Structure 1
Amino acid sequence: MLLKNGITIDQLNRPLAQFITKHYVEKGPGKEGHWFQPLNNIHHNGEYGNFAGSVTPYKQLIGIGIIGLFLLLTACINFVNLATAQAISRSKEVGVRKVMGSRRDQLIWQFLSETTLITIIALLLACVLAELALPGMESLFGANTSFSLFGHPIIFIFLLVMLVLVSFLAGLYPAMIMSGFSPALAIKNKVSTTKSGGVGLRKTLVVVQFAITAILIVSTLVVIKQMSYIRDKSLGFDTKAIALINVPTDSLSKLKYNSFRDEILKKTGVNRVSFCSEAPSSGNNSETNFSYNSSKDADFQVNIKTADEDYFETFGLQLVAGKELSKSDTTKEFVVNETLLKKLNVSNPNEALGKMINLSGRKGPVVGVVKDFNNSSLRDAISPIAIFSNLNNYHTMAIKLESKEMVSTLKSIENTFNHTFPESIYSVKFIDDQIASYYQTERIMGVLFKVFAGVVIFISFIGLFGLISFIATQRTKEIAIRKVLGASNFELIKMLNSTFLWMVLIANMVAWPVAYIFISKWLASFQYRIDLSIWPFIIAMFISMVITLVTVTLRSYNAARANTIDALKYE
């Protein structure tokens, strides 16, 4: 509907709620209602889907945004750390400029402009890398992606905001520190480490940086494990090499179903064929009221699936009691799943055989009980299900194929379809692709987590190497004196490592609760999920410590091997 100007959805919901209260059953087994969805919401609301069958949920965009924010924050922390660490080496420059008449605000603008220039160069390089990454992004998201600064003004505005924001966040604090040096102390090279930004601040920033790294590592490991669990978990039916073809549903076409089935079964590479409404697992589920061996409706609804007698063998569904459906174009009998009997408090499947079911005017006995299978994604619990025959509801043909001859067989099937139904459009998809589409968002996020976790680890490595280089330079004389007094290279390396290892340990203790809350909420969206163990957290800490040990040891070893005479000859 096209709303009048000034009318909101909330205003429509009020009379709709009154309509529902007046005309619908308030305390029925199913909750009936209506929803208004804005047209501009169809690209991002996975609950309802859209006409293209391609939705980019808001949580996916938010997830990408959070990861990007983590990356920017890590890079800014690196810059602040390295800039404040190098402040002492520029103290004489600041002292001379102040003596020559520079005001503090002029020095601040000088250092901010230097940061801005670095950020501009980084943005230009990022634009080149973004252009090179487009083919990979298109493959990952399955959509055409373009990058144009002036063709898409929002990108230009975003980069401009990033330029200002990053330059300010990364450059302001170092500029304030360096511009505040005393001219007399700066020229005499007597500016202390404490006055150049504070060792405590730099350690805090390193802790934050490694906490972000640990969160991303833990998240990546859990996402990978959950997606592996989803791929490996049995859904209760066969998903390999089963093609789903949309068949026309008009009455004239239905008269051709049997001849079409016979032609398909004659083809080399075709094992089984079944007409049905949907595959066992589908995003298109329908529920209705029903009664079981009684005139009174049950207090829950049943998920209905219509299928012919070959449905069970085509999809490899297993019976735990009774038999499969008999050949029929109309509803004469039902096969139910174990979950339906559990909800009816029927413990023995054989007890249900022969009991009458009545749903939507269709009545018949239960002739079989099928083993539970997942009728939707693993985010949802298995529904109570009733399967019955009804030719009028068929709109899908499921074909079990031989994997080796699939391409040639599908081409032959297409030719037969076009000959049998010349006015219809041939459309085919595979059940395993359909199931994989349930987890498209998780798959994309898993890939992005892997890539960005690697980038954050690399940034942490570079930042840590720069910081330990500065600290080793500042402690050159201390290291030399310790060597003169008998300290070994191993003891010196151990001394420099211990400080950073403590910071990594603290960072992980901070990161673990945050990562646990984030991952627990994500896993809670799956009805079937892995158990969250301690191992991803231990592995994250181990990786952080290995990065620290390798980085610090490489730089501190050079400092420990330096000639003590060079460090002490001026004392």
Structure 2
Amino acid sequence: MWKIQLVTAWRRLKNNKSYAIINIAGLGASLACAILLFLFINYHLRFDNFHPGSDRIYRISSRTTYGGVEGFNTGVPQPLGKALRNDYPYFENVAMRAEVTEPLVTIGEGNDRKKFDARSVFTEPAYFNILHLPMVSGTPASALGEPYGAIITEETAARFFPGQHAVGKQFTTANGVYTVKAIAKNIPKNSDHRFDIFLSYSTFKDYNAFLASDSIWGGISSSIQCFIKLKPGVNARLPANALPEVIAKNNPEDRGLMFFIMLPLRDLHFDTRFSGTIQKKYLWSLGWMGAFLVFTACINFINLSTAQSLSRSREIGVRKALGSTRWQIFGQFLSETFLLVAAAVITASVIVSLSLPQLNKTLFTDIPLNSQTIILLAGVAIILLLAVMLLAGYYPGVKQARLNPVKGMRAQTRPQGNKGVSIRKTLIVLQFAIMQVMIVGALVISRQMHFSMNTDGYLHKNGILLLRIPEKNASTLHTLRQRITQLAGVETASFCHAAPLSATNMATSMRMDGREKDEDFQVAIKYADDHYLETFGIQLVAGANLPASDTVNGMLVNEMLVKKLNVASAEAIIGQTIRVNNVRTVVRGVFKDFHNRSFHTNLQPLSLHSDIRRFSELAIRINMQQSAALMPAIEKIWSETFPDYLYNHRFLDQDIAAMYEAETLLKQLVEIFALVAVLIGCLGLYGLISFMAEQKKKEIGVRKVLGASVPSVIWLFGREFTIMLVAGFVLSAPLSWWLMNSWLEGFQYRIGVGPGIYGITVALCAAITLLTVGYSSIRAALMNPAVSLKTE
């Protein structure tokens, strides 16, 4: 029976190619998007899920409330690990980790010397007992238990010492020469804790004595992190309740202002407050987006199928008259649905296979097209095949199975009352609503991202080249800047610790002379030379620029700091002495406020200081039209100045974009899938206009015989679509307003979801509707009434 039904279904579809192609294209596109979204969501949900006992693994991070402003930091004071290990019995293992900011590694000497970039980190041996990092040779205890010991991964060993046994070899990085004492297996790519080299933590004090001190409880650096693994059976609330005691005991001045938070390992990837990659709510939103796309494609299928049923009424009537049961008619229709959906699933799988490399490139993912992914893809495809076949095929199949055979053979297919029409129109209204929600989402996210990237428009953000400065010798840096600024196309250059808008920010306490205690807020510090304002276009509102000096000799403050200090005006603070980071200096000028962090955080009090010891970057403003010739010339000068280091560069606008990586990713996905939703919606509108044109064929013929004009006949269709468009807007407007305002709450500085966005959305949907239904409605209006009335 099923074989006959499938053969019959194949013949039917082969003889009705346009119907089959439209359905396969709509379903295939929506299923491809749904599968890609599933793979993307699955990729992120699997981060760091391979560690045994992951439910007992936590990272301790910091939260501060200085001046009533909440701040979050992945780092903790360095002595925290020792205090937890010695004073509390809750932990199976405690390990500190400190990242190395300079990635350069050198091997060999003289002409045989090779240079590599490798992510390095100081770790305690217990770190390998917390995270699952299997060893190939050696043990963490023996490798990291003594100073200047190191563990490298298999991949790193092959890169540093190709064809050689790496254990016992030496390399230079960070602060000295290290010996490879163990080899670890490569860390899976779905981990946020991937490093190439692990250095003995006891050597950290030689790298940065200040941060490595056991007495620096007030200093927090995001590079210093603490990982813990609870003993089996220990309730996480017990150590969490003990953390305030640690602050009260070791750092009482910051009690009530600094807090330690235990974050589960499995949540680190999703907590963007603490450098997480993407929030789970974004993933669930994308999941719903994929479901909506599949749902709209099913709506199309239902509308096209019911429209086609008009031309099949005689066939179904004859089948039922010859003895076919309802179940056989229903099965015949499901067979056709199965073939269409199967073809759509195959089409979607091909699209996914071809587009996955581009998806990885665009969305910064690493989803492999290996056997595991193919098996997963096949499983998802089968589930979608069954689900969509039933979802899209049930209603049209039941409707055709219930057709009265006498009326079917007489082609009396007009539904009784408006029940059938109402269901189809309801589905189109839902489709309009989904389309409008996605268009509103794309518009709001795009506008917010444009607002975030281009506010503080007076600052120079484009054409700013950032180079790493590995040495702090004054004469060397002066010569480097002089040589680079002499190049044609270089406008200006500045040494600094970080750009104005940057993820790298430092904050500390401050006190004005004459006041008894520190202010109840912290001030952000940026170190820069006297060319910083010119390079980035920062505007002074009072006073003068920083002097040309290699040491702290005056400071600049922003307008926000003047307000926080309750000073009467910008001019009034000039000449005042302020102690910042335990250094007393005089305010020389006040500059216009700008955002030194992303728009997720509030505007901060900010100060600029000049100190060559703090410089780590050279910012060069270049004419981008001459960049092709400038880039090799700049690299040549830098390499001649620092021959022992690897040249690396980046542009400021890339750094700024990285600060909004999750939002940019969401923007790209929403824009792509909003376009797909529009295309699928066009197919749905085509299906309904086909149904309406066939249903109203006699009515149109009668109207034209009685003198109706072509425009009045076209309006017969336009009126119904206008009502459905407005109904879709009424349904989508409150939902989209709530969704977008919930998303915008993550930004301290944001746009509003105003009537302009909804006006654009309705106009776009109206234009899409006009273009989609215009041809069919005009063709129906121009049909010869003699043909439309000649039916029996």
Q: TM-score, normalised by structure 1?
A: 0.87
Equivalent position to 1:307, from 499, 521, 528: 528
2:275 paired with 1:49: yes
Higher mean C-alpha deviation, range 359-368 or range 443-452: 443-452
2:506 paired with 1:286: yes
How far apart in 1 are the matches of 2:710 and 2:599? 56
Instruction: Name the structure 1 match of 2:581.
Output: 360
Deviation at residue 520 of structure 1 after TM alignment: 2.3
How far apart in 2 are the matches of 1:410 and 1:547? 46
Instruction: Name the structure 2 match of 1:241.
Output: 463
Equivalent position to 1:16, from 243, 267, 275: 243
Instruction: Name the structure 2 match of 1:502.
Output: 723
Instruction: Name the structure 1 match of 2:447.
Output: 225
How far apart in 2 are the matches of 1:570 and 1:428? 75
Distance 1:568 1:85, change over 3 A: closer
How far apart in 2 are the matches of 1:115 and 1:537? 37
- Partner deviation per Cα, 1:247-284 (whole Å, 9 max, x = no partner): 23xxxx43x34323313312332554433221111112
Deviation at residue 244 of structure 1 after TM alignment: 1.9
Equivalent position to 2:351, from 110, 126, 129: 129
Higher mean C-alpha deviation, range 117-126 or range 377-386: 377-386
How far apart in 2 are the matches of 1:33 and 1:365? 35
Instruction: Name the structure 2 match of 1:549.
Output: 770
How far apart in 2 are the matches of 1:243 and 1:570? 75
Distance 1:106 1:31, change over 3 A: farther
Deviation at residue 203 of structure 1 after TM alignment: 0.8
Higher mean C-alpha deviation, range 561-570 or range 452-461: 561-570
How many pairs are equivalent? 561
Instruction: Name the structure 2 match of 1:111.
Output: 333
Partner amino acid for 2:387? L
- Partner deviation per Cα, 1:61-90 (whole Å, 9 max, x = no partner): 444333322221111111112223333443
2:482 paired with 1:265: yes
Equivalent position to 1:85, from 307, 310, 317: 307
Instruction: Name the structure 2 match of 1:33.
Output: 260
CA contact (8 A) 1:265 1:271 kept: no
Instruction: Name the structure 1 match of 2:434.
Output: 212
Deviation at residue 335 of structure 1 after TM alignment: 1.7
CA contact (8 A) 1:222 1:519 kept: yes
What SS does the corresponding residue of 1:547 show, helix, strand or coil?
A: helix
What SS does the corresponding residue of 2:263 show, helix, strand or coil?
A: coil
- Partner deviation per Cα, 1:113-167 (whole Å, 9 max, x = no partner): 3212211101211222334434543442245555457644322222222212211
Distance 1:121 1:341, change over 3 A: same
- Partner deviation per Cα, 1:494-530 (whole Å, 9 max, x = no partner): 2232122111111112112222222223333333333
How far apart in 2 are the matches of 1:58 and 1:513? 23
Paired residues for 1:400-411 under 5 Å:
400-411=621-632
Instruction: Name the structure 1 match of 2:387.
Output: 165
More strand by share: 2
How far apart in 2 are the matches of 1:223 and 1:212? 17
CA contact (8 A) 2:240 2:261 kept: no
CA contact (8 A) 1:149 1:156 kept: no
Aligned-residue sequence identity (percent) comes to 35
CA contact (8 A) 2:467 2:619 kept: yes
Paired residues for 1:132-143 under 5 Å:
132-134=354-356, 136-142=358-364
- Partner deviation per Cα, 1:180-224 (whole Å, 9 max, x = no partner): 334454455445424997111111001011111222222333333
Partner amino acid for 1:425? L
Select the structure with the greater relative contact order (CA < 8 A; seq sep ≥ 6).
1
Deviation at residue 21 of structure 1 after TM alignment: 5.3
CA contact (8 A) 2:523 2:604 kept: yes
Paired residues for 1:321-336 under 5 Å:
321-336=542-557
Instruction: Name the structure 2 match of 1:470.
Output: 691
Higher mean C-alpha deviation, range 413-422 or range 116-125: 413-422
Partner amino acid for 1:502? I
Gap regions ≥5 residues in structure 2: 1-94, 96-129, 131-228
Distance 1:22 1:263, change over 3 A: closer
Distance 1:266 1:485, change over 3 A: closer
How far apart in 2 are the matches of 1:311 and 1:570? 83
Distance 1:311 1:558, change over 3 A: closer
Distance 1:190 1:243, change over 3 A: closer
How far apart in 2 are the matches of 1:328 and 1:419? 25
Higher mean C-alpha deviation, range 266-275 or range 141-150: 141-150
How far apart in 1 are the matches of 2:530 and 2:697? 84
Instruction: Name the structure 2 match of 1:520.
Output: 741
How far apart in 2 are the matches of 1:271 and 1:36? 46
- Partner deviation per Cα, 1:453-493 (whole Å, 9 max, x = no partner): 33322222222222222222222222222223332332222
Deviation at residue 296 of structure 1 after TM alignment: 0.9
2:376 paired with 1:154: yes
Distance 1:6 1:395, change over 3 A: farther
How far apart in 2 are the matches of 1:313 and 1:70? 50
Distance 1:184 1:401, change over 3 A: closer
Deviation at residue 24 of structure 1 after TM alignment: 4.7
Distance 1:533 1:295, change over 3 A: same
How far apart in 2 are the matches of 1:420 and 1:484? 90
CA contact (8 A) 2:307 2:690 kept: no
Instruction: Name the structure 2 match of 1:346.
Output: 567
Partner amino acid for 2:675? G
How far apart in 2 are the matches of 1:6 and 1:82? 59
How far apart in 1 are the matches of 2:620 and 2:761? 46
Deviation at residue 7 of structure 1 after TM alignment: 5.9
Partner amino acid for 1:258? S
Distance 1:7 1:104, change over 3 A: farther
Deviation at residue 444 of structure 1 after TM alignment: 3.7
Higher mean C-alpha deviation, range 329-338 or range 72-81: 329-338
What SS does the corresponding residue of 1:86 show, helix, strand or coil?
A: helix
The alignment's C-alpha RMSD in Å is: 3.1
Distance 1:21 1:163, change over 3 A: farther
Instruction: Name the structure 2 match of 1:275.
Output: 495
Deviation at residue 350 of structure 1 after TM alignment: 1.6
What SS does the corresponding residue of 1:528 show, helix, strand or coil?
A: coil
CA contact (8 A) 2:247 2:255 kept: no
How far apart in 2 are the matches of 1:150 and 1:533? 46
Distance 1:196 1:121, change over 3 A: farther
Distance 1:428 1:96, change over 3 A: same
Instruction: Name the structure 2 match of 1:457.
Output: 678
What SS does the corresponding residue of 1:363 show, helix, strand or coil?
A: strand
How far apart in 1 are the matches of 2:544 and 2:774? 70
Distance 1:149 1:361, change over 3 A: same
CA contact (8 A) 2:480 2:638 kept: no
Gap regions ≥5 residues in structure 1: none
CA contact (8 A) 2:528 2:610 kept: yes
What SS does the corresponding residue of 1:36 show, helix, strand or coil?
A: strand
CA contact (8 A) 2:557 2:590 kept: yes
CA contact (8 A) 2:508 2:522 kept: yes
